Structure 1
């Protein structure tokens, strides 16, 4: 090897060393949990509308439910390994910025904390309300209905914190795993003795109004009962990464009031894509869940017209735990 070639190779190696050194220095200063803050939409519009769960984040602007930690708070399950169809107890804590379990909460939708459990293929949806002991541990009896990876969401507002938070984490369930494909987009769903239709023109990045209409036996249901301070409770999950949207209906409801047949929500889908919507409503003392698959674009297409009513084939639960200790 000539002296000139050796000098050139030496200089090249030195440059590579400097480049890798700089990359390492940058990489070690990046928070592995918080995402980079995205640019704010034009006009000051938040990424998610409709009230609770409007894309709140103090650790980089990621959408709700995508991170196990946000704003200094962390969702900490007691275990992340379970067996399908086995009775167990879900236990977890919310760790605060000081690393200790949180024991003070501001109720939202009449509860200190809402726990959403769903398999990653968006089957097996459960909306639960666990109980908290004096030490800050939440618990509720639960049985996972099938093997696979399941997502847990904790939706809550710490006392003294300005905004609600939604944290998410995965747990592993051993057992038979058979993927359940999403239903095709439709504007009608049948659950138990109820038919629910959905109308609206959702547009990605813009506030949209969604209207659900509940009927039974071909007649409108006009005596819906309040559930969590409203006549309906809507959870929407984006297919793929399972980003979480938790929206408010436009009408507040209190004990003794009657509602229906329409339940309206104002919501903003953050991006174009496929979403799974879970509507909880209460009638005759029982809570029911209607599910919809919605394709959201950028051109404001109307939700597909009613077709044959898909019927409920997956389990739902709305379990309540014992009173707080």
Structure 2
């Protein structure tokens, strides 16, 4: 007699190749979702919605270091080119896109600028702070010279729309040629340049908000009449050695105390950091550098 139960069971079984095909499609679909989220970020509604660009922002993001990725918090930095000839000026052009695929043109001003752009070589030499100009279509342009061959990192920091904390994106630039790495910097608290002496005080404490004081002196006297830069008496950039993570640094609000330019910095980890302080006096812009150790 024919065993109909066995026959029915075998009919319900899907062929092995079909099962494998379905499993592969599910895995591929999952990879596509994860890849999209990694590049552009999630587009689902976030706790805070800031309107016209369709971007949500989590306040905790402002405390994490930036510049480690080309895309973050729903924004994407897209350069026109990343290859330069060492020692030659070329126009560097880039656009910031939102998660809806459109160029961002709504940037809040900080000081008198809407885009904070700076470049440094991977060995933390050749620091440049530049001010690009935006076209009507959202394309930013800035003349850029990579003086020496090597790999560089470009940072774009901006405050989109009605966001309350800046977004910092980063992209690698290349200037082919024979690379000579700069010397390993030592921990320093004093810098001298063009008759100015700058001393920084405070401590970088890993996992905390650290307070930093910058004291600018000339002829052994405090300089108290500095010109404003981006709405403050000075501009401070802090990068972590190794991966060039850009720390969230902000000037302390209120009048200056003890002639110091005070800043607060979110220090994520222990390690060595490079600090670049810019100040302007009687129309002359100066940039001094320090190396600090966070414990």
Q: Equivalent residue for 2:268? A: 270
Q: Equivalent residue for 2:7? A: none
89, 92, 103: which is aligned to 1:101?
A: 103
Matches within 5 A, 1:251-262: 251=253, 261-262=259-260
Measure, in 2, the Cα distance between the counterparts of 1:182 and 1:55.
Answer: 33
Measure, in 2, the Cα distance between the counterparts of 1:191 and 1:168.
Answer: 29
Under a length normalisation based on structure 2, what TM-score does the superposition of the two structures give?
0.78
Q: Equivalent residue for 2:277? A: 279
Cα RMSD, aligned residues only:
2.7
- Change in Cα spacing, 1:202 to 1:74, as seen in structure 2 (3 Å) is same
Q: Going by fraction, where is helix more abundant, 1 or 2?
A: 2
Shift of 1:259: 8.9
Measure, in 2, the Cα distance between the counterparts of 1:97 and 1:208.
Answer: 33
Q: Give the SS at the match of 1:271.
A: coil
Q: Equivalent residue for 2:72? A: 70
- Structure number, greater radius of gyration: 2
Q: Equivalent residue for 2:148? A: 146
Measure, in 2, the Cα distance between the counterparts of 1:194 and 1:246.
Answer: 26
Q: Deviations over 1:91-128 (max 9, x none)?
A: 11111222222111111233111101111111011111
Q: Give the SS at the match of 2:34.
A: coil
Deviates more, 1:240-249 or 1:164-173: 240-249
Shift of 1:25: 7.5
Unmatched 5+ stretches in structure 2: 1-19, 42-58
Q: Give the SS at the match of 2:251.
A: coil
How many residues align? The count is 255
- Change in Cα spacing, 1:133 to 1:28, as seen in structure 2 (3 Å) is closer
Q: Give the SS at the match of 2:113.
A: coil
56, 63, 70: which is aligned to 2:61?
A: 56
114, 118, 122: which is aligned to 1:116?
A: 118
- Change in Cα spacing, 1:187 to 1:216, as seen in structure 2 (3 Å) is same
Shift of 1:296: 0.5
